[in-house]
Amino acid sequence: MKAVTFKNQQILITEVPEPDCGSEDLLVKVCSAGINAADILQKRGLYPAPAGIPQNIPGLEFSGTVVKVGRKTSGFSPGDRVTGIVGGGAQAELITIHYSNALIVPDSVNLVDAGGFSETYLTAYDALVRQAGLQMGEKVLINGAAGGVGLSAVTIAALLNTRVTASARHVEHHQHLKTLGATPVLPEDVSKNAPYDVVLELVGGINMEQNISNLSDDGRISVIGIGAGAKSEIDLRLVMSKRARIFGSTLRARTTQSKAGLINEARTKLIPLLDQGKLPITIAGRFDFNEAESAYESFSTPGKLGKILLVF
């Protein structure tokens, strides 16, 4: 099969062996695969795939059609349309995934676009709902709201009937954020709507001092993006006086069992909303997988709104 591969920080289209379908796996013919910041880091040699995952094939999310099911799987059959999160290897013609980490794509959803659903919405849901415990009526700030995860976070927060402030540097994206239910602001203006009960940090350490200053008592900060730097100097006196909580997470390195818990919640909480058209997947660009280099360039270009997809 063909796959996008990295070698010496270069992007290549390479013939690689087809993956073996284990007894608890689904073998999936990939329709599309999303590009994420983790792929860029892996290309630079800064974020290797977890053990047991192909080290030279990127891709953390995909959509496709099941072609084979392992004998110990349940709930899936050949021909099912699925999406899911993996530790890598999604940017290839075929991929295997543990059946507990896959989700059925509703018939109402375009299968190509579904390749940009899993990593974005599952990351946002995990950070806002499972970790930060975002509640109806609370105020939430989303820094870096124009990316795939940011847009998903805005959508989820708005559906929870919270008061959403979305920070995005490019003014041309603000109208779209309004349609999703947020009050858009430039990064330098986030303090105008403070204090916030929850801050979702998708940019990095550069924002942490301001995040703590803008936090309400008993506020929470969830860090899931560090593209603008991983280090920050903060005043612990403010953290103490506000009884603040700061935490962070990634999905990639979690165990299959850990991911399965999140997937189970998504199956009941998110997939019905996706089927109803309430979880839009904003696509910034679709590229044939043979144009992977152009797709990665587009992802790395400032000013995009939404997901970049590789289409097989």
- Give 21-37 pLDDT, tens digit per residue: 999 999 999 999 999 99
Look at residue 253 in the predicted model and tell me its pLDDT: 85
The CB density around residue 229, as the number of other CB atoms within 10 Å, is 12
DSSP string covering 168-199, please? -S-GGGHHHHHHTTEEEE-GGGGGGG--EEEE
Nearest to 168 by CA among 31, 28, 10, 304: 304
Q: Is the pLDDT of residue 291 over 90?
A: yes
Pairing verdict, β 81-85 and 196-201 = unpaired
Look at residue 125 in the predicted model and tell me its pLDDT: 98
Q: Is the pLDDT of residue 164 over 90?
A: yes
Q: How far is CA 96 from CA 22, 85, 180, in A?
A: 8, 11, 34
Q: Is the pLDDT of residue 229 over 90?
A: no
Domains, the chain, in order of start with CATH, read 2-117+252-311 (3.90.180.10), 121-248 (3.40.50.720)
Q: Which residues on adjacent β-strands are paired with residue 94? A: 29
Over its C-alpha atoms, the chain yields an Rg (Å, rounded) of: 19
Look at residue 212 in the predicted model and tell me its pLDDT: 97
